[in-house]
Amino acid sequence: MTHFGAVVRNRRERMHLEDRRFSLRQVAQRVGIEPAYLSKIERGDVAPPSEATTIRLARELGEDPDVFLAMAGKVSSDLQEIVRKRPRLFADLIRQLKAAPDDAILRVVREVRDGDW
Amino acid sequence: MITLEDDRLVFRFPEVHENARCVIEFQRTLRIPDDDTDYPLPPGLGPLPLRQLDDYARRLPENWQRRGGVIAPMHQAEAMWIEFEANSGFPSYPFAVKIASGKVCAITGDTWVNHLNDDPQDYVTLPEQPWLDGYCVEKGVIRQFVAMRLGKGYTVEEQLTGAARHGGIQIAVYPMKRERYRELAARETRVRYAKMPPGVVACMAPCEMGLAPGGRMRQEVYDDPYGLGVWDQRRSSRCFVTIANSTQWMAITGERPPTVPPTARRYTDAGLPWFEWYGGDAAAVAGSKKLKSLASVARMGESEDETPLPENETIEVNRVIGLRSSDSTRVREFSTDEPTHA
């Protein structure tokens, strides 16, 4: 299985091919970590970073923060809070939907209602 | 279908294509001086909060409830811009997007209709158009979206129709037809990285607030490079965004609205950057004579002997960051804890 760091490195290097601002050093600077630490993350020498850093990395690299968090083995704190407030309801909902196809899950998502205007 | 995710409207058309997804966000920004100078693009100061209107139905007037959609707070005379993101899949799934305020098209000045027109073009296309800051008054020039109370005569709706019935912002998104996207994808055989967002139809409507034309800004609205026939007009989605002033917002949601943005003078004097967008070879639409004929907020205030825009002094912009369509990121935001991308 591809580790988190490899995905980060692959993504960053692809962007670096077209934009020199995506060097290891500049990305680390914008994300607010040391270049040496980002290098270790990319090599898989250290565990994935904190939730906040993972989210900043995702946004910097144009990726979905939830997807990056999942690859890092984490669940965002706002999702945890949602489940904590109504644990039985959401746990049951998630288990029931675990094998459902994407379009079926989208059908239970709350939509923005279009009215009469 | 439209969902509200982290203050962003996410439009999906899973029945058309799995990549048919686009995101629309309303960015807070500083108000540029309304002095007939052409300014560069101001920064994004973070998204306007959006809430499902239905969550507060009991506190809302009946005509607000009927519109559905979402609600957003804006201060009197506050400016905003609309950010489009259509980067789902490769190539990015294209969309046509209509934008109106008070049910008046921001591109042509015509009354809202639910279909697309190409003569004159009354929509923008994604991923070509990264954002829209105002009304298209000339080729390469817009007048900034500025929130004003309905009933005072400043809004585009009131100036063009003589009535203050709708207010707010209306947006509609149409995906490219599935078969045309497949043809497009087949042509894009060379693998390259592209970052752009997707789209649908949404509408933002005012209740007590509408949008009026503010200062002039250099921004092109691009010609449709695909042609009217590629858009799937049977599958559009709509959303109405109601604008509440800050007092209404607190009464309705119980939340504090964002703080008032800094003035253009304070922002610029702090050495912070403005922006310029280079869209490459893309052609721009001509601009609307109807919209060009409207009085800006400051001009109308002069004729009414009012001062609707405090701190409207001319400023000199020296620090401008160029952004290009070929860039893999299009950062036009300033935050105090991260450096801006040069």
Q: Where are the domains of chain A?
A: 4-71, 77-108
Of the candidates A29, A112, A116, the beta carbon closest to that of B52 is on A112
- List, in order, residues 6 or more apart from B186 with CB less than 8 Å away: none
Residue closest to B247 by CA, chosen among B75, B100, B32 = B75
pLDDT at B116: 97
pLDDT at B189: 44
Mean pLDDT, all residues of chain B: 88
Contact A62 B195 (CB under 8 A): yes
Query: Are the beta carbons of B51 and B64 closer than 8 angstroms?
Result: no
**Segment among B106-110, B188-192, B271-275 with least mean pLDDT:** B188-192
Query: In 3-state terms, what secondary structure has residue B248?
Result: helix
pLDDT at B329: 56
Contact A112 B3 (CB under 8 A): yes
pLDDT at B333: 66
pLDDT at A108: 80
Instruction: Name the band, by pLDDT with cuts 50, 70 and 90, for residue B338.
Output: very low
How is domain A4-71 classified at the architecture level of CATH?
Answer: Orthogonal Bundle (1.10)
- Picking from B25, B66, B203, B239 by the largest number of A CB atoms within 10 A of its own CB, the best residue to mutate is B239
Q: How far apart are CA B123 and CA B129, in angstroms?
A: 10
* Helices A24-31 and A51-60, axial angle in degrees (round to 10): 130
Contact B70 A110 (CB under 8 A): no
Identify the helix (H) or strand (E) that includes residue A78: helix A77-85
User: What is the DSSP pairing of strand B141-149 with strand B209-218?
Assistant: antiparallel
pLDDT at B51: 96
ipTM given for this complex? 0.79
Query: Are the beta carbons of B31 and B22 closer than 8 angstroms?
Result: no
Tens digit of each residue's pLDDT (9 = 90 or more) over B273-324: 999 988 878 899 999 999 999 999 999 999 988 989 988 999 999 899 988 7
The average pLDDT across A18-33 equals: 94
The average pLDDT across B57-80 equals: 93
What is the phi-psi region of residue B7: left when phi exceeds 0, alpha when psi lies from -120 to 50, beta otherwise? Answer: left
pLDDT at B203 over 50: no
Query: Are the beta carbons of B232 and B16 closer than 8 angstroms?
Result: yes
pLDDT at B318: 87
Residue closest to A114 by CA, chosen among B252, B57, B70 = B70
pLDDT at B197: 36
Range list of H helices, chain B: 62-67, 156-161, 178-187, 246-253, 264-269, 289-292, 297-303
Of the candidates A22, A29, A116, the beta carbon closest to that of B339 is on A29
Contact B195 A14 (CB under 8 A): no
To the nearest whole Å, the CA of A44 is away from the closest chain B CA by 24
Residue closest to B50 by CA, chosen among B209, B258, B199, B227 = B258
Contact A113 B9 (CB under 8 A): no
pLDDT at B89 over 90: no
To the nearest whole Å, the CA of A1 is away from the closest chain B CA by 23
How crowded is the C-beta side of B47, counted as CA atoms within 13 Å?
16
A and B: number of Cβ contacts within 8 A = 82
